[in-house]
Structure 1
Amino acid sequence: MADWTVVQVTDPAELVAASHLFDAPVRADGAADTLARPGHVVLLARGPDGHDVGFVSGVEMRHPDKEPEMFLYELGVEEGARRRGVASALLAALRDHALAHGCRGMWTGTEADNVAALATYRAAGAQIDRDSVFVVWDDLATS
């Protein structure tokens, strides 16, 4: 049995406390805004000591001619907890959340050379579409 559980974040302070899992420190205002937005979800993998070892974030999406789907925004597991099923449990929990909210599919993007992420997603039942291309506008104010 795992020595951690997956919990849905409802308090912005939880995200601030889990800053070590993210690319940059989580600010309280950013955490509050994320959690207040409809369809946004953040799940944490938490050890029995209260230490967070991983997270996944997602956004429910809908287009008029498609069924609702979950966009897996980001997944992260701290180095010491990798290869112990944390990412798989987070993905399963996000899938369950998506299904409970009427989503029929789930998708994400990652770098073509991110072998660990691709293996994790494959193990969770995803198909890898190597023909897709992501188009990015990093700063809309200057575009």
Structure 2
Amino acid sequence: MGNSTDPRPESTRATRIRRATTVAELTAAEHLFDGPARPEWAERFLAAPGHLMLVAYVDGAPAGMVSGIEMHHPDKGTEMCLYELSVAEAYRRRGVGRALTQALASYARELGCYDMWVGVDLDNDAALATYRSARAADDGEFAMLTWTFG
């Protein structure tokens, strides 16, 4: 069924997921971030080894994004941290978040990662449902402690 911005049925829309490789791609998707993209930070993100962002496009417009960070440890190897997932309001509950999560997992497998993980607030039902629908297993409750600098 369509929505008010696109009367076509969901099945006829073209959704593509691709890795962002330019500052222009990141700034075009800034409505998916918590705040505006800063070009100098976007450049730093793109230049950092092991940092990646996949963007889902529906009919050419950024509809969602997922960022991942490769983490290396001498006794474990490499794992992927799903750092952030965001889907524009108009595209939620249509499988975009699941597709982005699965695309990141596929990318992690190609890189030789032994697993992928994400931290989720226990009251974030939408995120939990998305990750579970993408076949994530629940490792139980944990505490997250944060240091804030400046």
- TM-score interval, normalised by the smaller of the two chains: over 0.9
AA in 2 matched with 1:98: A
2:8 maps to 1:12:
no
State, as a whole percentage, how many aligned pairs show the same letter: 48
> What are the Cα deviations for residues 106-140 of structure 1, in whole angstroms up to 9, with x where unaligned?
0011211000100111111112233211111121x
SS at match of 1:14: helix
Question: Equivalences for 1:119-134 in 2 at 5 Å?
Answer: 119-134=129-144
TM-score by length of 2: 0.88
How many Å separate the matches in 2 of 1:14 and 1:104?
29
Superposition deviation, residue 3 in structure 1: 2.3
TM-score by length of 1: 0.92
Question: Equivalences for 1:1-143 in 2 at 5 Å?
Answer: 1=11, 3-48=14-59, 50-139=60-149
How many Å separate the matches in 1 of 2:143 and 2:132?
19
SS at match of 2:36: coil
Superposition deviation, residue 5 in structure 1: 0.4
How many Å separate the matches in 2 of 1:11 and 1:20?
16
How many Å separate the matches in 2 of 1:22 and 1:15?
9
AA in 2 matched with 1:104: Y
How many Å separate the matches in 1 of 2:35 and 2:146?
20
Moved more, 65-74 or 129-138: 129-138
Superposition deviation, residue 30 in structure 1: 0.8
Moved over 3 A (4+): none
Structure 2: runs of 5 or more not aligned: 1-10
> What are the Cα deviations for residues 37-67 of structure 1, in whole angstroms up to 9, with x where unaligned?
000010000122x210000000011111113
Give the root-mean-square deviation of aligned CA atoms: 1.2
AA in 1 matched with 2:146: V
Contact 1:95/1:106 (8 A) holds in 2: yes
Structure 1: runs of 5 or more not aligned: none
How many Å separate the matches in 2 of 1:125 and 1:63?
25
SS at match of 2:83: strand
